[in-house]
Amino acid sequence: MPITEFLSNNARLYKHEDALVEINPLVREQTNWKESNLVEARPNGVYRRHLTWGDFDKEANRFANLLIYKGIKRGEKVGILLMNCIEWLPIYFGVLRTGAIVVPLNFRYAADEIAYCVDLADIDVLVFGPEFTERVEAVKDGMRVKDYYFVGADTPAFAKNYKEEIKFFTRHDPGVVITDEDDAAIYFSSGTTGFPKAILHNHLSLVSSCEVEKNHHGQTRDDNFLLIPPLYHTGAKMHWFGSLLAGSRAVILRGVKPEWIINTVSEENCTIVWLLVPWAQDILDAIERGDIKLENFRLEQWRLMHIGAQPVPPSLIRRWKKYFPHHQYDTNYGLSESIGPGCVHLGVENIHKVGAIGVPGYKWEVKIVDTEGKEVAQGEVGELCVKGRGVMKCYYKDPAATAEVLKDGWLFTGDMAMQDEDGFIFLVDRKKDVIISGGENLYPVQIEDFLRKHNSIKDVAVIGLPDQRLGEIAAAIIEVKQGFTLTEDEVNEFCTELPRYKRPRKIIFAPVPRNATGKIEKPKLRQIYAGGSVVAAENEI
């Protein structure tokens, strides 16, 4: 059964109940929104919008019928280049209902990256928002796109207005027969190891992610999921898929300020929140500064906080439980190649194992192998491999790259891991990020986890820098908490608890760049600091 059937079922059963709510806190902060009828000049500029399951289904059908009328056929590609908004998911499901392939695009892409991904994925139709008009216009003449649809006011001359166009088409399902094996979506890799690859999934992958999420976190009709990360990425959407399967409500929050998150949980009665590490840290910092006073909010219904997309420092969860002792906690490991989070997860019952990424997820298999593909002994480090219904079909138009990572149904993740005596898997580092210093393998994540225990450190990234004698040395880029000070001598003193070979040889005080899904942009850091700019940056605090 294709994933679109879940939406059809919810529309039948819960037609008049809210499926999605969009909250735009900037409106509340910058306008007298109660007296202004909730309207302001910003795109999609209302404080709160909502969409019922029935209207969600109708809007998806109208867009599907528009695409079919315009000649979009099974297997053709429709791109989505939007910030998170209430139109995003109906557009996504509208594409799927045509039998076409939906292609979400990273909202951080520059114009040339948009053109690259449109060309790589063979995108025929592009839906975009006002934030991207200039970027799209700059490259549109060189792209293969036939039709552009614009979501927002002030539609540019080269595009048609999405809302105005779909209103002429029927709200009924177009009736295209879709099977589990049909191609469904192309997602792009995060680009942390270079230019993004196009990752092709079928409908079975999408359905499996619904089942995995609901099995892991037990969504019911009474739950309300706060959706903050970008919808173009597999992480946020595949966690929302649990809400889709349960027929429960979700809130799309347009912003990540700690006050906005806590206020939305309180006002919208949210029960499940998925955070990235920096957002969780910011919330805790705001509580400890006194900027957020928890007694002013209604938070008792909030039952689950879970984190993914990056290694989670155990110290962060200990801090979190201090302020939210009743919360269930889970961490999820996944890749876009394995349809996002869940192929490994900690499990809410295993909080005593914080620091591990967990155990194989629902209907997933896991193994850890050496460079020859043989399973390593328990406790030894090797490459993590996963197998399940959510593994990608291929890298689109790249058979060589596909063959490198897909072997006998196993996805070789490129992540180094080890399994402890209880069967829990610990992520050690990215295979490509391992530092070889004087013949010793250094795993940056281990050093980063240690440094994050320092009370003055907000964020840290460890990278390898060239060294004539040792080949590489470990350099720690440290972002200091606001209002705190830290010196190189203090860092070195703190690191005396580490084995000598693991201690950073260079300390750099500077911001730690992360992409929209919270991953540290280590290629960018290597580009900055592997050359002559290192010395100039060392004294920045």
At 244, which amino acid appears?
A: L
Same domain, 461 and 341: no
pLDDT of residue 190: 64
Three-class secondary structure of residue 531 per DSSP: coil
- Strand order of the sheet with strand 101-104? 160-161, 147-150, 123-128, 77-81, 101-104, 183-188, 198-202, 394-395
Burial of 218 (0-12, 13-18, 19+ CB in 10 A): middle
Is there a domain that residue 391 lies in? yes
Domain membership flag for residue 405:
yes
Q: What are the φ/ψ torsions at residue 115 (nearest 5 degrees)?
A: -60, -40
Answering whether pTM is above 0.95, one says no
> How many domains would you assign to the chain?
3
Query: Cα separations (Å) of 397 from 101, 121, 497?
Result: 14, 8, 49
Nearest-angstrom CA–CA distance, 81 and 102: 11
- Say if residue 404 is in the same domain as residue 489: no
**Residue 169, token pair as written in the block:** 């088409």
Is residue 317 located within the same domain as residue 216?
no
* Tokens coding 505: 């040889």
Name the token pair of 136. 């799209």
Q: Which helix (H) or strand (E) holds 21?
A: strand 18-23
Question: Counting Cβ atoms within 10 Å, is residue 205 exposed (0-12), middle (13-18) or buried (19+)?
Answer: buried
Q: Give percent helix, percent strand, percent coil of the chain, each to the nearest 5.
A: 35, 25, 40
* Burial tier of 299 (Cβ tally within 10 Å: 0-12, 13-18, 19+): middle
What does the block give as tokens for 72? 């979009």
CA distances from 173 to 14, 162, 373 (A): 17, 18, 47
Among 400, 430, 460, residue at a domain's last position: 430
Residues 205 and 324 in one domain: no
In a domain, 285, yes or no: no
**pLDDT at residue number 42:** 41
My answer on whether 225 and 308 are in the same domain is: no
Asked, for residue 277, whether it belongs to a domain, the answer is no
Please give the DSSP secondary-structure letter assigned to residue 76: -
Distances (CA, A) of 248 to 19, 63, 215, 498: 7, 23, 15, 47
Domain closes at, from 374, 395, 430: 430
Q: List average pLDDT for each run of 10 residues in the chain, which is 541 residues long.
A: 94 97 82 43 66 98 98 96 96 98 91 92 97 95 95 94 96 95 91 72 95 94 94 87 96 94 96 89 92 96 85 83 94 87 90 89 95 92 94 95 94 91 85 72 83 91 82 90 92 89 91 77 82 33 23
Task: Return d(Cα 320, Cα 312) in angstroms, integer.
Answer: 12
Is residue 48 in some structural domain?
Answer: yes
- Asked if 355 and 471 sit in the same domain, the reply is no
**What is the span of the domain harbouring residue 176?**
4-255
> How far apart, in whole angstroms, are the C-alpha atoms of residue 283 and residue 260?
10
Q: Which of 360, 3, 68, 367 is nearest to 202 (CA)?
A: 3
Residue 266, in any domain of the structure? no
Q: What are the CB-based long-range contacts (under 8 Å, 24+) for 260-268?
A: 260/23, 260/25, 261/226, 261/228, 262/292, 262/294, 262/297, 262/299, 263/25, 263/297, 264/23, 264/25, 264/226, 265/226, 265/297, 265/299, 265/302, 266/297, 266/298, 266/299, 268/21, 268/23, 268/224, 268/226
Provide the strand spans (E) within 53-158. 77-81, 101-104, 123-128, 147-150
Instruction: Verify that 448 and 417 share a domain, yes or no.
Output: no
pLDDT at 113: 87
Domain assignment of residue 418, yes or no: yes
Same domain, 406 and 476: no
455 and 394 assigned to the same domain:
no
Same domain, 314 and 235: no
Same domain for 395 and 487? no
Are 447 and 389 found together in one domain? no
Q: What is the CATH number of the domain that holds 235?
A: 3.40.50.12780
Please answer whether residues 3 and 210 qualify as being in contact, where contact means their C-beta atoms are separated by less than 8 angstroms. Answer: yes
296 assigned to some structural domain: no
